[in-house]
Amino acid sequence: MDITPFLNRNLDSPLYQQLYRYFKENMHRGRIQKGMKLPSKRLLANQLSISQTTVERAYEQLAAEGYIVSKPRSGWFADYHDSDFAYAYDRMPSTTPIQQEAEENKQWIDFHYGNVDSSYFPFSAWRKSMVNSLDQYGHELYRPGHVLGEFELRTLIAEYLYQSRGVHCGPEQVIIGAGNPILLQILCQVFEPNISIGYEDPGYPRARKIFEANRMNIVPIPVDDEGICIQKVKEQQPNLVYVTPSHQFTLGTIMTINRRIQLLKWAAENQSFIIEDDYDGEFRYTGQPVPSLQGLDQHNRVIYMGTFSKSLLPSLRISYMILPSPLLKKGHEITSLYKQTVSCHSQLTLAEFIKNGEWQKHINRMRKLYRKKRAIVLEAVQRELGEHVRIRGENSGLRILLDVYLPFGEKELIEKAKKHGVKIYPVSLSYQNHPPTKTVSLGFAGVSESDIREGIKKLKAAWKI
């Protein structure tokens, strides 16, 4: 067994790891049987013209992983359990090439709503928070962690929400979860099955699907310029209402203060609850900031939901909800059933990030950035598309809607845009009955300033305006 050709000093991987891999592989393949003696360190070191210690290092790694054992003053012996790779190498399952989905990176200009602008993320600050929290809390990561979420983070969230959204709560009301859908799922189980839930039409399709999956009785409620129609709510008398007041999910309208008060009054009178989903409440552009429903509520009827996906990293997967006191007990119960879904360390990193003021800083920076992008998109649409479209939902959030006054339907508009390298999105899916519309959605957060201008130009060409 001559190993010499397998060692290469010029490779990136160190000598001892090359040695380690060599032996491990030969054990897998059965060339080194259980119990066999490995060459002594000196012998091998001489043969390979390397140091004993290097061989020793390789052997130690093998030993650490349980493949070999040392008999002092006698030698090293292969001692792996068959179970370690009993099934290995007879044939590995072929890894199916699943990535075709990635579609050729044809230079799309993609107005997808979910995208955000990555170039401004404060990497080094985040990284620092991450490392700090690991070094600082290290040993605490072993506790399963609080089911509701780390106390520290919950306190910070409560404080932030109070200052920025007027939400009034204590840390015991905050529940951290791995994304809005998970929290909605938990919420569904807090309520009895088969209750009726008022759902904005159009609204957030994912939420509707989760309600459906939990066999709730969905009552579509129309939305007008001021928000959800109270009249219809009163007619239907659902047990629960799901709304997105600070930026209506599809239409982008902001619920007026009057409408809010009416809705709260109705909920108090009927002992109903309101789910206030403030999924991108951080970003508004005009007018007075309207207080959140939760902040206006006097009767503990509001469940407030928020997330860090839009305003920080979409892939971070940290969201939260605020339970009103009547739901606390049941809420904690259901939550503890699923345990906490966000890793302790992610939570503590975020807490550190917030404590250092980096969060606030980032929000302000992004708000400024998005405000600028919004101005650019509005200006470009005005100039290029002019009279042929009407802009809606432009007062908050990270997207706008275009009502298009052309003889095409939603589908055609999207198809034509696609042929010109621009991805835009339909709104009909947000409606209960997927009615035909002439409206398309443009999320601008993830598109660069120049691409916004160019994208709108391309729309003009695509639609032959």
Q: Considering only residues 71-110, where is the footprint of a second copy by CB under 8 A?
A: 81-88, 92-96, 98-99
Q: Name residues contacting DNA, limited to 132-151 (CB under 7 A).
A: 135
Which pair of structure tokens corresponds to residue 392? 């809606």
Q: How many residues bind DNA (CB under 7 A)?
A: 31
Binding string to a second copy for residues 139 to 178, with x set by CB under 8 A, is what?
x-xxxxx-----x---x--xx--xxxxx-xxxxx-----x
CA-wise closest residue to 371 among 306, 441, 444, 278:
444
DSSP state of 92: P
Q: Out of a second copy, DNA, none, which partner does residue 128 contact, by CB within 5 to 8 A per kind?
A: DNA
Rounded CA-CA distance 201/211 in Å is 14
Q: Which does 47 bind (CB under 5 to 8 A by kind): DNA, a second copy, none?
A: none
**CA dihedral (208, 212, 216, 217) positive or negative:** positive
Residue placing its CB nearer to a second copy in the complex, 231 or 364: 364
For helices 358-384 and 449-462, angle between their N-to-C axes, nearest 10 degrees = 30
- Tally of CA atoms within 13 A in the half-sphere of 86 that contains its CB: 3
Pick one of a second copy, DNA, none as the site partner of residue 415 (Cβ within 5 to 8 A by kind): none
Which of 12, 135, 192, 387 is close enough to bind a second copy by CB under 8 A? Answer: 135
- Could you say which residues in the range 48-77 bind DNA, by CB under 7 A? 50-54, 56-57, 59, 70-76
* Axis crossing angle, helix 449-462 with helix 410-419, rounded to the nearest 10: 110
Strand order in the sheet with 174-177: 174-177, 319-322, 302-307, 273-277, 240-243, 196-201, 217-224, 227-228
CB of 178 to a second copy, least distance (A): 4
**What's the Rg (C-alpha) of the chain?**
29
Please say whether the beta carbons of 211 and 199 come within 8 A. Answer: yes
Determine the straight-line distance between the first and last CA of the chain, rounded to whole angstroms.
76
Partner from DNA, a second copy, none binding residue 181, C-beta < 5-8 Å depending on class: a second copy
Complex with a second copy: residue 303 or 318, whichever CB lies closer: 318
Contact 299, 270 (CB under 8 A): no
Considering the rule CB under 7 A, would residue 41 count as an interface residue with DNA? yes
Query: Does 254 sit near DNA (CB under 7 A)?
Result: no
Identify the residue among 40, 185, 196, 217 touching a second copy (CB under 8 A): 185
Minimum CB distance to a second copy smaller for 319 or for 437:
319
How many residues make contact with a second copy (CB under 8 A)? 95
Q: Shortest gap between Cβ of 143 and DNA (angstroms)? A: 23
Report whether 148 contacts 154 (CB < 8 A). yes
Q: Show contacts with DNA in window 110-129 (CB under 7 A).
A: 124, 127-128
For residues 92, 61, 138, 353, the Cα torsion angle rounded to the nearest 10 degrees is -60
- Cα distances (Å, whole numbers) of residue 381 to 104, 269, 387, 389, 398: 28, 45, 10, 8, 15
Q: At its nearest, how many Å lie between a second copy and the CB of residue 401?
A: 22
Question: Tell me, what amino acid is at 174?
Answer: V
Find the binder of a second copy among 14, 193, 326, 386 (CB under 8 A). 193
Q: Does 326 bind a second copy (CB under 8 A)?
A: no
**75 touches, from a second copy, DNA, none (C-beta below 5 to 8 Å by class):** DNA
Candidates 70-78, 115-123, 296-304, 420-428; binding stretch for a second copy (CB under 8 A): 115-123
Residues of this chain that bind DNA (CB under 7 A): 9, 14-17, 38-43, 50-54, 56-57, 59, 70-76, 124, 127-128, 131, 135
